[in-house]
Amino acid sequence: MLTTPPPVGQGPATTQELFAVVEDAAAPDLHFLATPGLRTLLTPGMLAVAGALADGYAQGRFVCLLGDAGVGKTFAVHAAARRLGELLPLNVGAQPAPADLRACLHKALKLSGEAPADPGAADTLIRRALAQGPRIVVVEDADRLSASCFEYLRFLHDDLPHGLCVVLTAQPRGERHLRAQRMLATRTAGWPFIRPLTRDQVPQAVPALHPLWQSVAPQDLQVLDARMAGGCLRRWVVLTLHTQRAMAATGTQKPDQSLLQAVADRIDGGRRA
């Protein structure tokens, strides 16, 4: 059975806690486009990822993180991992092979020199480094991994005395591929699902994301979201950056409807949602 996105409002946080600003939860350069003034919010997705990642890290197990592009999967993992342990993001390309995972791990672990061409020698160095302390390995777009890549991750996980926390991210269309990997069935701590903001959540979340939106009427934020963002925080970051630039160019202190329409037209070429 595939994952069902959790109903909005359900989870460990109360309504008052949701969308609160979390101080020192993420490095400034972690925010998309390094946009000045962005703040980290306690979204339902952040809560789900933090809980699942804490379990996966403590148990040395996998975490399969699902959500559409732009909802904040990568950001949530990096923010949650800051308080747990060292993060090892693996930047694998399309259709990676186990050799690509070895090369990425060699680099992420900061091992000296180039990764050995011999798989056994490469694995000896990687296993020795991983055994020195808990790490969190992150593989983006994990639905691109082949069966041999999953088998290699299983090998590393099972080889370590306390397992290995591996975060596999994918868009919802990739869930079926992850579910088909039998090794994940008994080695996964959770399958958190991050969904976009709802229409009702936008007026609460967006002004907390950045102060420049605090003077914009809630209904105007909802209209802008429907046209440009679809509840995805990454798109709101893009809107924030373009609005900042437009305000600086025009000397505007607050974004009005005319400026916001001009920004939206510039981004999408004047198309209407």
Q: Give me the CATH topology for the region 29-194.
A: Rossmann fold (3.40.50)
H-helix or E-strand spanning residue 152: helix 147-159
The predicted-structure confidence for 141-166, as pLDDT tens digits, reads as follows 999 999 999 999 999 999 999 999 99
Backbone angles phi, psi at 114, to 5 degrees: -80, 155
CA 142 to chain centre: 13
pTM above 0.85, yes or no: yes
Grouping H, G, I as helix, E, B as strand and the rest as coil, residue 193 is strand
Measured between alpha carbons, how far is 79 from 26 in angstroms, rounded to an integer?
A: 5
Could you give the maximum distance between any two Cα atoms of the chain, in Å? Answer: 63
Do residues 198 and 230 lie in contact, with contact meaning Cβ atoms separated by under 8 Å? no
- What does the domain layout of the chain look like in residue ranges? 29-194, 202-268
Taking 3-state DSSP, the helix, strand and coil percentages for the chain, each rounded to the nearest 5, stand at: 50, 10, 40
The predicted-structure confidence for 17-56, as pLDDT tens digits, reads as follows 888 888 765 666 677 777 888 888 899 999 999 999 999 9
